[in-house]
Amino acid sequence: MVCSVLKLTSVEGVALRQWLVECLRAVAYAAAPEASGKRDLRIDLLRGICVFVMIVDHVGGEQSWFYALTGGNRFFVSAAEGFVLLSGLSMGMVHANTISREGARVMLAKVFGRVRFLYALTVALTITFAAASVAFGTPYAAAMTPARDELSFALEVITFHRSYSLTDVLVLYTLLVLAAGPALWAMSRGLTWLVLALSFGAWTLAQISLDLVPRAWPIVDGGFPFAAWQLLFCIGLAAGYHRRRLEPFLAPARLVALGVASIAALVAINAIASQAFAGWVGVDVKELLFDKNDARIGRVLALIATASLLYAGLTVAWRPARRATGWLALPLGQSALFAYGVQLFVVAFWSSEFMAPVRLDRENALFQGAAVLMVWVATLLRPRVATALDRARVSAVHALEGAARAMRTSMRPRVGPRASLAIAALLLAGCGFGRVSDPALLVRATPSPTVASSYTFEPAEASEVAVDPGPGRVEEGTFYSTALKRTMRYIVYLPPAYADTATRFPTLYMLHGGSGFITEWVDYGLLSTADAMIRDGSIEPMIIVLPEGDQEYWVDHVVDASTGANGEKWGTYTAKEVVATIDARYRTIPSARQRAIGGLSMGGHGAMQLALNFPGTWTIVGAHSPSLRPEGDAPTYLGRGTQFAARDPYDIIAATPQVAKTITWWIDAGDVDPWQVQAKAISDELTLLGLANNWHEYAGDHSAAYWSAHVGDYLAFYSNAFASR
């Protein structure tokens, strides 16, 4: 009897444990659909929490219900440390991929481009926030940054000799990103240990005395000493760069152990310091260990403990955490820099003399909540504002194009009130709100399972309609890729009269480069040029497709645990799924003889490789400045040895000349393009096979200006190739 009860209890215990395990798995991050994406939403959510805490603490006050969450900037660690750590982590993760796929030189170009943007943003926000603070009459405005006059203040801000309240962290962030370029380059050469050693050495000197650390120039009101705070950023940068290697150590149990160990070390150091400095006059142990300005050892340990425990918690209980906080934290975290900039002016408003008559201690939480809400709403509205500005640019460009057409035909352009307003909107928005794209054809809308959005070219002026076949149209759509297990986007250009006839059209697939996006060819004027050339009869009507390729070289990746290559099927997705989707949804000529594929840089490599590895899909290929890296410098997911040869256009042509002979070729590169020699070698190989290949060496480099200058040449080639088949 006893044995039966024990046996039943044991069975029930196993079932209960299994049920608990399944429940935990169901709410874990690994079980969420977003876990398969390239973006780690746990980092975004943590960064959003940091933004929330900073807004609350910056609005300030003596009493607030929110201080139970934020600590009122009096905890052992603050959101500022978390923001710096997470920024380094994100940057390390992103540029580890950049280095792997495109090399350290491209990484440095991107990093320094980011530095230029951050510098301009920091200067603009500092000056405008200072002006807003004075205008609003905020309490600190008169005391902060007492420059001799407005011009002196502006000049000192521009030269990074002066900061301002709440913008000092932007100065720090700009300098950290500037230092990140060389640091990442060193990490790519296996010198992470040296980067961390130098970082820890500078931090140690700063703990003894900031005067021991060489400084290029002083920054007045710079509340975050670079020598001290760079350690937090460098720790994140190294962890992000080596994220794949550290994956085994990011299990929740190990993170919890790290967090507990950090807390234990913190308690031990505090006890030792309290004992060692007991009775010392003028020594404050709490300040010695936890002073925020100098990023003391206590704050570093507290940050490691907090970050480890929170990341572990989100990994284990992602679904409830996202349900409770994601609606607020994720938008703030994914647009953290924008949110921080907005909160400067929101804080200035709530702290201003305008609000003084109603500012009561018991209303601090109300004020802080309202400030958070304002920043959150601004973050949500940002994409809509960007879309509105894009549409304004579209209208302005059409007005300008209409005027140009009229001038070309010796007609007086008629620019009415609508066009005038559109031109004014273009000029006002020209400084850019988000990423500036070719306004004539850019589509920005919420994707749907079929067609997400469409845009029709503005019709020609009435007097031209008799000779103009009418405008083309651009649509953006999505479909679910079974090869990649995610929803993918595409942009498609439909030629004039597509909607009014039953005609089928040849199709051109144009692939973007590794540092570009799905709209890259749009930015270079491909679609607007195609529309103009089709309408004036320079080229034959065609459908143009711009698929989404991320930075994956449009190739089926190898599987290699040592490099993290997981076998993603980007080639299969492009050749099988994109083509099938377009053929099913649009009136294409579903024949390889009437399909062309081209691309720039990474896309040029992809165009050649795809046509060769998926014979019978495309028979017209254009490689525009193809990025042809040698094996040692190529992305690791292209493999080594025979694996690399199976993905390298030169090797594939040599191995399968019979496939190469079925293709009509075009290859071009600038005379100072870094891969001009490799591109010419492929052209020479094709020539040895007896194949004409339209080799063109133009003046120029590997840049947007080069590709923009030759889109007409490319389109003429594709049109002639279609006509000859």
Confidence of residue 215 (pLDDT cuts 50, 70, 90): low
Distance CA 618, CA 103 (A): 30
Q: What is the DSSP string of 522-576?
A: HHTTHHHHHHHHHHTTSS---EEEEE--TTSTTSBPPEETTTTEE--BHHHIIII
Distance CA 71, CA 206 (A): 26
Using the predicted structure, report yes or no on whether residue 191 has a pLDDT greater than 90: yes
Alpha-carbon dihedral 145, 343, 331, 231, rounded to 10 degrees: 20
Give pLDDT, residue 280: 80
Distance CA 546, CA 566 (A): 25
Confidence of residue 403 (pLDDT cuts 50, 70, 90): low
Is the pTM above the cut of 0.75?
Answer: no
Domains of the chain by residue range: 76-247, 467-518+532-723
CB 99 within 8 A of CB 390: no
107-161 pLDDT per residue, tens? 999 899 999 999 999 999 999 988 888 887 776 665 555 556 778 888 889 988 8
Confidence of residue 14 (pLDDT cuts 50, 70, 90): low
Using the predicted structure, report yes or no on whether residue 332 has a pLDDT greater than 70: yes
* Most confident segment among 195-204, 207-216, 626-635: 195-204
3-state SS, residue 485:
coil
Query: CA nearest 579: which of 606, 545, 612?
Result: 545
Could you say which of 3.40.50.2300, 2.120.10.30, 2.30.110.10, 3.40.50.1820 is the CATH number of the domain covering 467-518+532-723? 3.40.50.1820
* Most confident segment among 67-81, 216-230, 437-451: 67-81
Task: Name the token pair of 720.
Answer: 């002639």
Alpha-carbon dihedral 117, 122, 128, 132, rounded to 10 degrees: 140
Distance CA 311, CA 316 (A): 9
Distance CA 650, CA 667 (A): 13
**DSSP H helical ranges for 28-78:** 41-59, 67-70
Give pLDDT, residue 74: 80
Give pLDDT, residue 539: 95
Using the predicted structure, report yes or no on whether residue 444 has a pLDDT greater than 50: no
CB 521 within 8 A of CB 546: yes
Give pLDDT, residue 721: 95
Alpha-carbon dihedral 461, 462, 463, 468, rounded to 10 degrees: 70
21-32 pLDDT per residue, tens? 677 778 888 887
CB 620 within 8 A of CB 595: yes
339-370 pLDDT per residue, tens? 999 998 888 888 776 676 665 555 578 888 98
220-267 pLDDT per residue, tens? 766 788 889 999 999 999 999 998 888 888 889 999 999 999 999 999
Residue 388 dihedral angles phi and psi, to the nearest 5°: -60, -40
Bridge partner list, 510: 598
Percent of the chain residues topping a pLDDT of 90: 52
Buried b or exposed e, range 269-300, using 16+ CB within 10 angstroms? ebeebeeeeeeeeeeebeebbbebebbbbbbb
Distance CA 599, CA 658 (A): 23
Confidence of residue 11 (pLDDT cuts 50, 70, 90): low
Confidence of residue 211 (pLDDT cuts 50, 70, 90): low
**380 contacts: CB under 8 Å, gap ≥ 6:** 331
Task: Name the token pair of 85.
Answer: 């750590």
Confidence of residue 172 (pLDDT cuts 50, 70, 90): very high
Distance CA 623, CA 599 (A): 6
Give pLDDT, residue 204: 92
* Most confident segment among 33-47, 438-452, 457-471: 33-47
Give pLDDT, residue 106: 85
Distance CA 540, CA 717 (A): 11
Alpha-carbon dihedral 523, 529, 534, 539, rounded to 10 degrees: -110
Give pLDDT, residue 103: 82
Give pLDDT, residue 8: 45
Give pLDDT, residue 212: 63
Between 78-87, 397-406, 409-418, 537-546, the lowest mean confidence (pLDDT) is in 409-418
Distance CA 397, CA 419 (A): 9
Q: Cα–Cα–Cα angle for 93, 94, 95, nearest 5°?
A: 95
Q: Output the average pLDDT for the chain.
A: 83
Alpha-carbon dihedral 517, 104, 646, 583, rounded to 10 degrees: 0
Percent of the chain residues topping a pLDDT of 70: 80
Give pLDDT, residue 441: 40
CB 347 within 8 A of CB 404: no
Task: Name the token pair of 526.
Answer: 């491909």
Measured in whole angstroms, how far is the alpha carbon of residue 669 from the centre of its chain? Answer: 28
